[in-house]
Amino acid sequence: MPRSRKDRIIPVAPVDRLMRRTLTTKVDRVSDKGAEKLALILEEVGEQLSKMAVELTEYKGRKTITDKDVELAYKQWRRAF
What would the mean pLDDT of 9-30 be, rounded to a whole number? Answer: 93
CA dihedral 12→14→19→25, nearest 10 degrees, is: 120
Determine the residue type at 43.
Answer: E
- Residues listed for the chain: 81
What is the spatial distance between Cα 19 and Cα 15, in angstroms, rounded to a whole number?
A: 6
Residues 6+ apart with CB under 8 A from 10: 39, 42, 43, 46
Determine the residue type at 12.
Answer: V
For 27-58, the pLDDT digits (tens) are 999 999 999 999 999 999 999 999 999 999 99
* pLDDT reported for residue 7: 78
Global pTM value: 0.83
* pLDDT reported for residue 29: 93
Nearest to 41 by CA among 75, 8, 80: 8
Using pLDDT thresholds of 50, 70 and 90, give the confidence band for residue 2.
low
